[in-house]
């Protein structure tokens, strides 16, 4: 299997996982070589081809690059009401979402798929507005409350409106990138004193979490964590060379798991001697 087909297969599995668990964050792997707009390029590459119609919405400077990515798939540009896919550059369709195809009771799968490109959108957020998802794929008794900061309230209301008559409506993907610092060199400046030379390349990942009341949007609990991962290291200890290297994705997965464990510690059962 060629690299492009393998990447599309991986992306498609991630999208299926996202559809089966609405409101959950799903990671798209293997995108390092596709930047900029890596995540949205991967999604349009996977879903669009010459047999579908697409409508591109949005007016940010990145629209030219996004237009090129869409054009490369061979998909036909069509009006909103005829489009199989709507690709929104940013998080605001400027009211045009309501004209999207919603399917029929006989063929609900004819509803459009909306793909929001949030890479660098920089949309102001509302800390008071919360979205609760209920229905198929949402196992939580009280519904699922995803973090939708950065998506304008009118856009969320439009999504609610077009999906009000289940099973009619649209599928929506919000596609963006997790902020991880670039791999950067670090050198031990105390080497001349300790007679130990050590250098490495590393990256930092930071994450903030909040527990929010679904009744009034108040923040009940908050925490944050910062972790560093190492990709490669080289050094000299006592005259002997030391060298190690590892896959960056593997290192990132380990750091993300460590951060998730750290941030959920307050909610884990523990034993305490009384």
Q: Are residues 28 and 147 in the same domain?
A: yes
Strand order across the beta sheet in which 53-57 lies:
76-77, 53-57, 85-89, 113-117, 171-175
Based on the structure, what is the number of domains in the chain?
2
Q: Are residues 171 and 53 in the same domain?
A: yes
> Which of 120, 144, 175 is the last residue in one of the domains?
175
84 in Cβ contact with 53 (< 8 Å) = yes
Cα 78 to the chain's mean position, in Å? 27
Q: Which domain holds residue 200?
A: 184-267
pLDDT recorded at residue 199: 57
> Which of 142, 175, 208 is the last residue in one of the domains?
175
Cα distances from 101 to residues 39, 105, 111, 116, 185, in angstroms, run 25, 13, 5, 16, 51
Beta-bridged to residue 138, according to DSSP, are none
The DSSP annotation for 163-182 comes to TSSTTSS-EEEEE----BPP
> Which of 175, 197, 218 is the last residue in one of the domains?
175
Q: Are residues 46 and 160 in the same domain?
A: yes
Q: Are residues 233 and 151 in the same domain?
A: no
Q: Are residues 121 and 41 in the same domain?
A: yes
Q: Are residues 218 and 107 in the same domain?
A: no
Q: Are residues 161 and 37 in the same domain?
A: yes
Q: Hey, how many other C-beta atoms are within 10 angstroms of the C-beta on 50? A: 8
pLDDT recorded at residue 66: 83
Q: Which of 51-65, 94-108, 114-128 has the lowest mean pLDDT?
A: 114-128
pLDDT at 170 over 60: yes
- Is the model more confident about 84 or about 65? 84
**103 assigned to some structural domain:** yes
The per-residue pLDDT for range 79-119, each reduced to its tens digit, is 999 999 999 988 889 899 999 999 999 999 999 999 998 76
Cα distances from 154 to residues 70, 112, 127, in angstroms, run 26, 19, 15
CATH number of domain containing 104: 3.40.50.11310
Q: Which of 13-17, 96-100, 118-122, 223-227 has the lowest mean pLDDT?
A: 118-122
């Amino acid at each position: 299997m060629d690299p492009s087909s393998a990447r599309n297969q991986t992306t498609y599995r991630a999208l299926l996982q996202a559809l089966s668990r609405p409101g959950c964050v799903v990671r798209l792997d293997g995108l390092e070589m596709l930047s900029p707009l890596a995540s949205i390029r991967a999604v349009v590459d996977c879903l669009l081809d010459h047999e579908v119609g697409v409508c591109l919405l949005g007016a940010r400077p990145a629209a030219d690059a996004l237009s090129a990515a869409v054009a490369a798939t061979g998909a036909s540009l069509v009006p909103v009401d005829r489009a199989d896919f709507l690709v929104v550059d940013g998080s605001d369709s400027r009211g045009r979402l309501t004209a999207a195809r919603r399917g029929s009771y006989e063929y609900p799968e004819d509803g459009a798929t909306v793909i929001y490109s949030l890479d660098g959108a920089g949309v102001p957020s509302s800390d008071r507005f919360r979205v609760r998802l209920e229905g198929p794929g949402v196992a939580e008794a009280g519904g699922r409350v995803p973090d939708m900061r950065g998506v304008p309230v009118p856009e969320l209301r439009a999504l609610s409106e077009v999906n009000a008559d289940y099973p009619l409506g649209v599928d929506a993907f919000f596609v963006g990138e997790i902020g991880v610092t670039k791999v950067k060199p670090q050198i031990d400046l105390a080497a001349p004193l300790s007679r130990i030379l050590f250098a490495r390349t590393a990256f930092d990942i930071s994450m903030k979490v909040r527990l929010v009341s679904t009744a009034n949007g108040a923040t009940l609990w908050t925490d944050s964590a910062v972790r560093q991962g190492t990709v490669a290291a080289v050094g000299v200890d006592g005259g002997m060379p030391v060298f190690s290297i590892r896959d960056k994705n593997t290192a990132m997965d380990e750091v993300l798991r460590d951060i998730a464990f750290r941030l959920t510690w307050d909610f884990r059962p523990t034993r305490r001697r009384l």
